[in-house]
Amino acid sequence: MGSSANSYGVSPIGPIGQAVGGSQKNFGINGGFNKGIYSKNNNILNTNVNVSVKGNKSKGDDDFGGKGSKKNSNKKSNSNENNDSKSAADKRFKTLPPSESLPRYETIGGYIFVCNNDTMAENLKRELFGLPPRYRDSVRQITPGLPLFLYNYSTHQLHGVFEAASFGGTNIDPSAWEDKKCPGESRFPAQVKVMTRKICEPLEEDSFRPILHHYDGPKFRLELNIPEALSLLDIFEEQKP
């Protein structure tokens, strides 16, 4: 992951003693998630469309003809300023590089959110996971029922099992992890509502890291393909609640 550890915005579970919001489904893990995705093996090679949201250039004042008057010059200046602002926003919300994304031919099968001990309480209270702005388009691939996991980089443990209770989106709750410098804006706007699928003991790194796709040393991809997600679910299924 390109961000430093303290840039991640999901909270840790720490001692995972209770379900998020008190809700929990008490049936087997494998096969219960997103049955449309996991029902057939040949879905593993289904095409995964990575949505890259790029704003179409709107027709600005400088696109219109006319004499080079002072008034027209001001319009050009204002248009350039707007384009600069739009460019800055595009950089802020740029999509993930290929090393951090699933190949296009693979279907997303799960997602790992990242957290630390400082954000645990807010995460559980809001029943919401979030990531920094550059994960916006990636998180939009999440659909209700998709298995989710939570990696606590303070303890180096993976917590689960959760599932998406909504589609992934942007600023589902802009007051969550509010940016003190920009009131009303979340520091982690790539968000999804969650619910607890099953309370399990957290996994230590030596049990789950071999399953994950790594890049740039110890960093691992947050998007999971179907085999990776199923392998993690199998390991959690073996854990005593």
* Domains of the chain in sequence order: 5-48+95-238 (3.10.590.10)
Give the pLDDT of residue 78. 54
Q: How do residues 74-99 score in pLDDT, each as one tens digit?
A: 555 555 555 554 444 444 445 777 87
Q: How do residues 121-170 score in pLDDT, each as one tens digit?
A: 787 788 999 999 999 999 999 999 999 999 988 998 899 899 999 999 99
Let me know: does 128 contact 108? Beta carbons within 8 Å.
no
Q: How far is CA 26 from CA 13, 23, 161, 196, in A?
A: 19, 10, 12, 10
Structure tokens at 4: 């430093």
Let me know: does 133 contact 93? Beta carbons within 8 Å.
yes
pLDDT of 66 > 50? The answer is no
Average pLDDT (24-52) is 42
According to DSSP, the residues that pair with 108 across neighbouring strands are 225
Q: How do residues 188-219 score in pLDDT, each as one tens digit?
A: 999 999 999 988 898 888 888 888 877 777 78
Rounded distance between C-alpha atoms, residue 39 and residue 143, angstroms: 16
Confidence class for position 238, pLDDT limits 50, 70, 90 = confident
Rounded distance between C-alpha atoms, residue 180 and residue 109, angstroms: 35
Q: How do residues 5-17 score in pLDDT, each as one tens digit?
A: 444 443 334 444 4
Whole-number percent of the chain with pLDDT over 90: 29
Residue environment code for 178-214, b if the CB has 16+ CB neighbours within 10 A, otherwise e: beeeeeeebbbbbbbbbbbbbbbebbeeebbeebbbe
Confidence class for position 235, pLDDT limits 50, 70, 90 = very high
Q: How do residues 104-126 score in pLDDT, each as one tens digit?
A: 888 999 999 998 888 877 877 88
Site of tokens 């384009």: 83
pTM over 0.75: no
pLDDT of 54 > 70? The answer is no
